[in-house]
Amino acid sequence: MLEVLLPRLCCGCGERLAMGERLVCARCQLTLPLETNRDWDFNRRKRAWGDHPALAHVGALTRYERTNVSAELVRSLKFRRRYELGAWMGRVAVLSLRDTGLFEGVEMLIPIPLTRRRLHSRGFNQAEKIADGLAGELHIPVRTDVLRRLRYQESQTHFMLTKRRDNVQGIFELLTDEGLRGKHVMIVDDVITTGATMLAAIEALERVPDIHISVFAWAWAPVPAGSQT
């Protein structure tokens, strides 16, 4: 009766879930646009970000395009308030990438924070939900007391990289370096587009002595060949 009145629908395609399926149907899982370059030390995204000695690995599970399954799952999480989907994303990422070295040596997770106003209006931080899923599989803590977001920047898509970086200067404040010195931390977000926001978070954390930083996003918008963005 509940299935008739309140059918369980896939967060990716909106179709009815089969018996035993949860959140995302088998077809959507099989068609996830996975990132194929899993050399986390040498990829186009990391090269575009320039020289950051503290930066170890940069990786994502999927590629983001506006109409693909990965993007639809992000929209379901952020705008349809499917909170449990964030934990699912984190778990799937670890199970898919555990043997690639992306998470090797990581000791704590730091989700990209929202401003207080955005957090109040949305009710949750999607990056934190994904980090919770990662943490459950990796058995490491999530730190939400390290960075504070002071403001949001305007849309970055029409800017060159130098302008994008100028536009995000000072958007994050390092609140504490307690327990961070000499540690390997991973910054977590849902989607990396231009990368300017993530770079601002990296630069804030680089103030901590002897820190090692890795980056994970559920998805990133691929950097076109020859691009420096």
Range of the domain at 10: 1-31
Q: The CATH number of the domain where 168 resides is what?
A: 3.40.50
Based on the domain organization, do 13 and 126 belong to the same domain?
A: no
pTM given for the model: 0.89
Rounded Cα distance between 159 and 68, Å, is 25
Longest dimension (CA), the chain: 59
* CB atoms near residue 121 (< 10 Å): 9
The pLDDT value recorded for residue 2 is 54
Query: CB neighbours of 24 closer than 8 A, spacing ≥ 6?
Result: 10, 11, 12, 73, 85, 88
Based on the domain organization, do 214 and 195 belong to the same domain?
A: yes
User: For 179-203, what is each residue's pLDDT tens digit?
Assistant: 999 999 999 999 999 888 999 999 9
Residue 18 lies in a domain: yes
Residue 227 lies in a domain: no
Number of domains in the chain: 2
Q: What is the CA radius of gyration of the chain?
A: 18
Based on the domain organization, do 91 and 2 belong to the same domain?
A: no
Residue 137 lies in a domain: yes
Query: CB neighbours of 83 closer than 8 A, spacing ≥ 6?
Result: 77, 124, 129
Based on the domain organization, do 13 and 49 belong to the same domain?
A: no
Please, are residues 73 and 11 in contact by the beta-carbon 8 Å criterion? Answer: yes
- pLDDT per residue of the chain (229 residues) written in tens, 0 to 9: 555 557 899 999 999 999 899 999 999 999 999 999 999 998 888 888 888 999 999 999 999 999 999 999 999 999 998 999 999 999 999 999 999 999 999 999 999 999 999 998 889 999 999 999 999 999 999 999 999 999 876 444 444 555 555 556 779 999 999 999 999 999 999 999 988 899 999 999 999 999 999 999 999 987 655 444 3
58 has which bridge partners? 215
Cα 19 → chain centroid: 30
**Over the chain, what HEC string results?**
CHHHHCCCECCCCCCECCCCCECECHHHHHCCCECCCCCCCCCHHHHHCCCCCCEEEEEEEEECCCCCHHHHHHHHHHHCCCCHHHHHHHHHHHHHHHHHCCCCCCCEEEECCCCHHHHHHHCCCHHHHHHHHHHHHHCCCECCCCEEECCCCCCCCCCCHHHHHHHCCCCEEECCCCCCCCCEEEEEEEEECCCHHHHHHHHHHCCCCCCEEEEEEEEECCCCCCCCC
The pLDDT value recorded for residue 157 is 45
Based on the domain organization, do 70 and 127 belong to the same domain?
A: yes
Query: CB neighbours of 199 closer than 8 A, spacing ≥ 6?
Result: 49, 165, 168
Based on the domain organization, do 14 and 74 belong to the same domain?
A: no
